Chains A and B, each alone.
Chain A
Amino acid sequence: MLDWLFNGKKLRENGVLGMNDRNYSVIAKNNKRSLYVLVDDKVKTKRLANSININTPEMIGIIEHQYQVQNFLNIIKGHDTFVIKPAHGSGGKGVLVIKKYDGENFYSASGAVLSFKDIYQHISNTLSGLFSLGGQYDVALIEEAVNFSDVFANFSYHGVPDVRVIVYKGFPAMVMMRLATKESGGRANLHQGAVGVGLDVQSGLPLRAVMHNKPVFQHPDTKANLMDLRVPFWREHLLIGALAYDMTGLGYLGADIVLDKTRGPMMLEVNARPGLAIQIANGRGLKTVLQEIDLTYPKGLSAEERVDFVLNKRK
């Protein structure tokens, strides 16, 4: 029953990174506080990414002040599908995906039918800081919805399947794919019940999959075999991660990447404090990898070179 109390030694041997260690030895030492603003504000991140040719969803507009909310319908003119998100949001909070707008009602990705009044309310809430870290005033960002590639259609229930790449000192260190489930309400957050599939950094092949910390082999809703998951444009995925390091200077970051049908892999956001559940999805401790990067990986390479180094490295 209480066997887990004695896991400490084994976890250490397996190089599992704990929360305290992550905060003290990894984040505090590699992520300068002043760089956080670059990733905490999605508008900034987007502009930064576009400046070095990282694909992101096209921005339709931003609403910064309450009086601009009335202008919403003008902003979205010509778009019948778009996403409204708080620029300072975290964990997918406050993200509203509109699949269809018929001139009167908005149809959200989760199946709700919303009126303009509801949208107005949502944007007002966003501006007043309901979804932002610490509740400070926020900005609503309206961008084009990703035209999701069909390759993952079988692996996700509603919502957005995304690839999370952990990048350490510019080198892709660990990757997982997050698949929304019925339970997670279409969100890709593991603690809300999404499935995490660990992917081998070199081959992009699935290693194992977990849901609520327990191994799974099938998607609970679509019943797809998770080991059949294949991610196209693998190198491009890793490259976005590596470029995110050049772009932000964060030594330890998590890049969230989605696959668009026509535009290929796109970066959605960068996280300066990516979580540790990825280790469970990969069945592997992160600390071992980080130490290896620290000790044996070459320095002074470009993003392309770093990705190639990782891809061609002998196991």
Chain B
Amino acid sequence: MKLALCRFFTVRKVLSFLLLLSVAYAGYGIYYKVKYWGFTLSPNALTDVWTVEAKVSFDAIGGDAKVSLAVPDNKDGFKILSEEIIAKGYDVSRDKKNGRVVLSGKDKEGKQNLYYRLSIYDDAQYQASGMSVAAKVQRPLLTEEERGQMRKLWDLSKLQKGDKVQKIISIVNQEIATPTMTPVLPLNYTTKEFAEKIIQILAYKRIPARIAWTIKLEEDKKTDKPDIMLEAYLDGKWTLYDLNTAKIGLPKNWVIFQRGGVSLLDVRGGENSKITFSVLKTVATPAKMAEYRAVANDKLMGYKYSIYTLPILEQNTLKWLMIFPLAILVVVIMRNVIGVSTMGTFTPMLLAMALVKTGFWYGIICFSVMIVLGLIMRAVVAKLNLLLVPRISFVVIFVILLIQALTVVGYRFNYAVVSSAIFFPIIITAWIIERASITWEEDGAANTIKEIIFTLFTAMVTYFVVSSEYVRHVMFAFNELNLVILFIVMLLGTYTGYRLTELKRFAPLAGEDK
């Protein structure tokens, strides 16, 4: 029984299971962060943040003034980052029933300027709303001639594509310049008149329709004319239509200020009221937006305990640390699967990390120069027969002085290649020099150079994996992946297959006759 259990719970099986678990966890983590925090796989993804400002101005006629402004609803396509009302001397309240902002001031006289500012991001898919039920529509009172035109239009529209409303919008757009339409619409009609005409045509068939006030988001836009769209009640829900293209729904980068047929702006106690919209576009990194998104998605708790809320300095340190597991994985693969022997286990990894900071060629050249100078110096010192610890200490101090000299020279003469010396880990460099010089004495120059080349080669492979900005971003943003790496490394600890280099080493034993 115990034996059976042992066979079932082999180290490899347990580790494979844990690896699977960690993959599932990482998968969920990535899904979660992308969905609720808006993290992206690409390091350079930016979020557009639109700031829409509605400026209401009017001349107060003395006495109480009351302004009622329709404002966008959180549900209508966009997420609200911040909302701000600047209205000095006005009480701000919200009409809960229809979401309008109501500003009331006492004893106002003269020019009044009130501002409503909204920052929004992430336009979501527009959804038709089935919330409010439309009242029955009265057929408009029409003359016989007008009725004829209506019938004609409805007949013509049957050949158009889409639902009834789309058909009507298409046909009116097509027929607009023809004699059929001239009596219907004036020559210089406004969008509003166009919309009202469509509403009238729809009313003829008792289809409820109304105007929606929207703003198309364009960079540095300034207008006093909101973009008008049409809402029609069809099949039990209110649907939005574009008056030019007859397309259903809210186009991208479009925000609805007001829907439901009521006016956009009502001013009591003032005249010459006017509303001006200005639009400004800024960008933000996903990291910056993560908290807002976490709040918007009600996932703030998880966010608070993540590394992304740490001060930026700590975050940068962690970002640096988060690539180490991947670099370690590369080293493990290079050593235990490929079978490359290197000086020191993690020396290549630390070299690779230094290369990330210096840049590849600069780092390689500078490092080679340091090793060569160090080896020459070490050969000189070898004659003095110093004891081991003082001798290594000598090499360490020599490397420090060398780095200092190279950095100063590099800076003075503006050779970045020279000054990149400062990024190399001192102890590692010193140990490589010491190891190399001992190998040189004991196993000859060929073996030493072979060992250095293998070490550098492993460092290069590691470098090419970790130097990608993309990889670094992913390992930091989706740090659950480190758990996956942990179990891969552990599972590799049970790998008993041949190393790649052993296939060559043992080639004499691969004969058929044996």
**A interface, CB within 8 angstroms of B:** 4-8, 10-12, 14, 16, 18-21, 24-25, 93, 121, 124-125, 128-130, 135, 192, 210, 213-215, 276, 279-280, 283-285
Question: Which of chain B's residues have a CB closer than 8 A to the CB of A214?
Answer: 508
Given contacts A11-B503, A284-B509, 5 further A-B contacts (CB under 8 A): A8-B498, A8-B503, A121-B385, A129-B388, A135-B388
Question: Which of chain B's residues have a CB closer than 8 A to the CB of A135?
Answer: 388
Mark interface residues in B462-502 (1 if CB within 8 Å of A CB, else 0): 00000000000000000000000000000001111111101
Question: Which of chain A's residues have a CB closer than 8 A to the CB of B496?
Answer: 18, 20-21, 24-25
Docked complex Cα distance between A130 and B438 (Å):
9
In contact, A18 and B498 (Cβ under 8 angstroms): yes
Docked complex Cα distance between A19 and B500 (Å):
11
In contact, A20 and B497 (Cβ under 8 angstroms): yes
In contact, A19 and B506 (Cβ under 8 angstroms): no
Question: Which of chain B's residues have a CB closer than 8 A to the CB of A284?
Answer: 509, 514
Q: Is B507 an interface residue (CB 8 A)?
A: yes
Q: Is B336 an interface residue (CB 8 A)?
A: yes
Docked complex Cα distance between A283 and B497 (Å):
20
Known: A11-B510, A19-B339. A213 touches B505 (CB 8 A): yes
Docked complex Cα distance between A213 and B509 (Å):
10
Tell me the nearest residue of chain B to A23, going by C-beta. Answer: B496
Which 4 A-B pairs rank lowest in CB-CB distance, beginning with the nearest?
A128-B388, A21-B496, A10-B510, A7-B510
Question: Which of chain B's residues have a CB closer than 8 A to the CB of A20?
Answer: 336, 495-499
In contact, A10 and B512 (Cβ under 8 angstroms): yes
A110 to chain B, nearest CB (A): 12
A205 to chain B, nearest CB (A): 18
Choose among B388, B438, B504 the residue with the greatest number of A CB atoms under 10 Å from its CB: B388
In contact, B510 and A125 (Cβ under 8 angstroms): no
Question: Which of chain B's residues have a CB closer than 8 A to the CB of A213?
Answer: 505, 507-508
Docked complex Cα distance between A224 and B460 (Å):
45
Count residues on chain B whose CB falls below 8 Å from chain A CBs.
29
In contact, A279 and B509 (Cβ under 8 angstroms): yes
Docked complex Cα distance between A4 and B514 (Å):
16
Partner of B388, one of A16, A125, A215: A125
Q: Is B389 an interface residue (CB 8 A)?
A: yes
B496 to chain A, nearest CB (A): 4
B336 to chain A, nearest CB (A): 6
B200 to chain A, nearest CB (A): 80
Docked complex Cα distance between A214 and B514 (Å):
16
A132 to chain B, nearest CB (A): 10
In contact, B506 and A279 (Cβ under 8 angstroms): yes
Question: Which of chain B's residues have a CB closer than 8 A to the CB of A215?
Answer: 508
Docked complex Cα distance between A8 and B339 (Å):
14
A183 to chain B, nearest CB (A): 9
In contact, A192 and B443 (Cβ under 8 angstroms): yes
Docked complex Cα distance between A285 and B438 (Å):
33
9 contacts between A and B (CB under 8 A): A6-B503, A7-B498, A7-B506, A14-B511, A18-B496, A19-B499, A21-B496, A125-B387, A210-B508
Docked complex Cα distance between A121 and B388 (Å):
10
Docked complex Cα distance between A4 and B510 (Å):
9
In contact, B510 and A18 (Cβ under 8 angstroms): no
B511 to chain A, nearest CB (A): 8
A133 to chain B, nearest CB (A): 13
In contact, A16 and B509 (Cβ under 8 angstroms): yes
Docked complex Cα distance between A61 and B352 (Å):
47
In contact, A24 and B494 (Cβ under 8 angstroms): yes
Docked complex Cα distance between A93 and B443 (Å):
10
Question: Which of chain A's residues have a CB closer than 8 A to the CB of B503?
Answer: 4-8, 11
Docked complex Cα distance between A210 and B442 (Å):
22
In contact, A285 and B509 (Cβ under 8 angstroms): yes
Docked complex Cα distance between A248 and B506 (Å):
30
Known: A18-B502, A24-B494, A192-B443. A11 touches B388 (CB 8 A): no
Question: Which of chain A's residues have a CB closer than 8 A to the CB of B509?
Answer: 11, 14, 16, 279-280, 283-285
Partner of B389, one of A4, A21, A128: A128
In contact, A7 and B388 (Cβ under 8 angstroms): no
Tell me the nearest residue of chain B to A66, going by C-beta. Answer: B387
Q: Give B330-375 interface residues, CB cut-off 8 Å to A.
A: 336, 339
Known: A192-B443, A279-B509, A285-B509. A14 touches B498 (CB 8 A): no
Question: Which of chain A's residues have a CB closer than 8 A to the CB of B508?
Answer: 210, 213-215, 280, 283
Docked complex Cα distance between A106 and B509 (Å):
44
Question: Which of chain A's residues have a CB closer than 8 A to the CB of B497?
Answer: 8, 18, 20-21
Docked complex Cα distance between A145 and B336 (Å):
39
Question: Which of chain A's residues have a CB closer than 8 A to the CB of B510?
Answer: 4, 7, 10-11, 14, 16
Question: Which of chain A's residues have a CB closer than 8 A to the CB of B387?
Answer: 124-125, 128
Docked complex Cα distance between A20 and B505 (Å):
14
Docked complex Cα distance between A129 and B388 (Å):
7
Partner of B499, one of A18, A128, A129: A18
Docked complex Cα distance between A276 and B442 (Å):
21
Question: Which of chain A's residues have a CB closer than 8 A to the CB of B506?
Answer: 7, 11, 16, 18, 276, 279-280
Choose among A11, A24, A213, A276 the residue with the greatest number of B CB atoms under 10 Å from its CB: A11
Tell me the nearest residue of chain B to A128, going by C-beta. Answer: B388
Tell me the nearest residue of chain B to A94, going by C-beta. Answer: B442
Mark interface residues in B417-453 (1 if CB within 8 Å of A CB, else 0): 0000000000000000000001000110000000000
Docked complex Cα distance between A5 and B505 (Å):
11
Question: Which of chain B's residues have a CB closer than 8 A to the CB of A14?
Answer: 509-511, 514
Question: Which of chain A's residues have a CB closer than 8 A to the CB of B443?
Answer: 192
Question: Which of chain B's residues have a CB closer than 8 A to the CB of A124?
Answer: 387
B301 to chain A, nearest CB (A): 43
Known: A19-B339, A135-B388. A283 touches B499 (CB 8 A): no
Question: Which of chain B's residues have a CB closer than 8 A to the CB of A16?
Answer: 498, 506, 509-510
In contact, A93 and B498 (Cβ under 8 angstroms): no
B337 to chain A, nearest CB (A): 8
Tell me the nearest residue of chain A to B509, going by C-beta. Answer: A16
Choose among A7, A129, A130 the residue with the greatest number of B CB atoms under 10 Å from its CB: A7
A137 to chain B, nearest CB (A): 10
Mark interface residues in B219-234 (1 if CB within 8 Å of A CB, else 0): 0000000000000000
Question: Which of chain B's residues have a CB closer than 8 A to the CB of A121?
Answer: 385
Question: Which of chain B's residues have a CB closer than 8 A to the CB of A125?
Answer: 387-388
